[in-house]
Amino acid sequence: MNRFSLPNLGIGLGLRTVHYAHILEHNPAVEWFEILSENYMQTKGRPLHFLDRVAERYPIAMHGVSLSIGGTDPLDRAYLAELEALRNRTKALWVSDHLCWTGVAGKNTHDLLPMPYTEESLRHTAARIRQVQDVLGAPLALENPSTYVEHVGNTMKEWDFLAALASEADCALLLDVNNVYVSAYNHGFDAADYFAAIPFDRVVQLHVSGHTNHGTHIVDTHIGPVIDPVWELLGEAYRKTNASILLEWDAEIPSFEETHADALRAKDFLVAKAGA
């Protein structure tokens, strides 16, 4: 159990539009759903209609991409208010977003841009996390990103930055084991060093997904099957956390049956690991 007493919900799936009809018609035995928060913001129509029906039947966790927690524009209070309203609407068990920034001077790139890992970034981001947690009245779970560049001015490693940030802001973590693998490949570090620094008692959720390897670099596309080394990282992280797991699939999304079967494979993998 994590220090925030957030439960292990089991193996979850990302709620995707193309699966609404199947889910509502068949009530599949999914343990929980993760929603992409922004898909249900700035709308008053059909997305919320379906979300309400799913949230009546399944536990929900919210996962965002636009909080821009490391950004230097002021925190978007309207966004935060809508995020909190969505949390109340869905009774989401926790809210997560990424260690990143998404834009500056009012322009949003809709990408998870990498933070410089410096003392200034650390102080700045920790202060903003505390502000967000004050609005939410609950810990924010921050996800380690996949990154493709490192800043010239970095003064610390990502894992040290993340650990110090979590401590300074007293926030939760969402550990994406695929992102650890991707960034380790792109930046030439050892995932074991990353895992050695992570305060696993703060990890409330794990992400696992596929990626696209271009040889020179890997991109976190959430496409295709999870490769064995990433499954291994998941097993190790799960042993240390016993946290809820989410299988991400965001592009070229297969049928519900296929994504659900993948999630069940994750469960089989963990059962086998536990028995090994």
For other proteins, the binding residues (CB under 8 A) are 38-39, 41-50, 66, 70-72, 76, 79, 101, 103-111, 113, 116, 118, 120-121, 124, 148-153, 186-188, 215-217, 219
> Minimum distance between the CB of residue 65 and other proteins, rounded to whole angstroms?
9
10: left (phi over 0), alpha (psi -120 to 50) or beta: left
Chain-centroid distance of CA 170 in Å reads 17
> Minimum distance between the CB of residue 136 and other proteins, rounded to whole angstroms?
16
> Minimum distance between the CB of residue 101 and other proteins, rounded to whole angstroms?
6
| CA–CA dist 171, 35 (Å, integer) | 20
Rounded to 10 degrees, the C-alpha dihedral 268/271/139/155 comes to: -90
Going by DSSP bridges, is the β-strand pair 203-209/244-248 parallel, antiparallel, or unpaired? Answer: parallel
> Minimum distance between the CB of residue 186 and other proteins, rounded to whole angstroms?
6
Between 33 and 40, name the residue whose CB sits nearer to other proteins.
40
Residue positions counted in the chain: 276
Between 44 and 275, name the residue whose CB sits nearer to other proteins.
44
Four-residue CA torsion sign, 230, 234, 236, 240: positive
| CA–CA dist 168, 19 (Å, integer) | 39
Between 152 and 276, name the residue whose CB sits nearer to other proteins.
152
Euclidean distance between the first and the last CA atom of the chain, given in angstroms as a whole number:
21
| CA–CA dist 23, 19 (Å, integer) | 6
> Minimum distance between the CB of residue 269 and other proteins, rounded to whole angstroms?
30
Q: Is 226 helix (H, G, I), strand (E, B) or coil?
A: coil
Between 120 and 268, name the residue whose CB sits nearer to other proteins.
120
Between 4 and 189, name the residue whose CB sits nearer to other proteins.
189
Between 47 and 229, name the residue whose CB sits nearer to other proteins.
47
> Minimum distance between the CB of residue 273 and other proteins, rounded to whole angstroms?
32
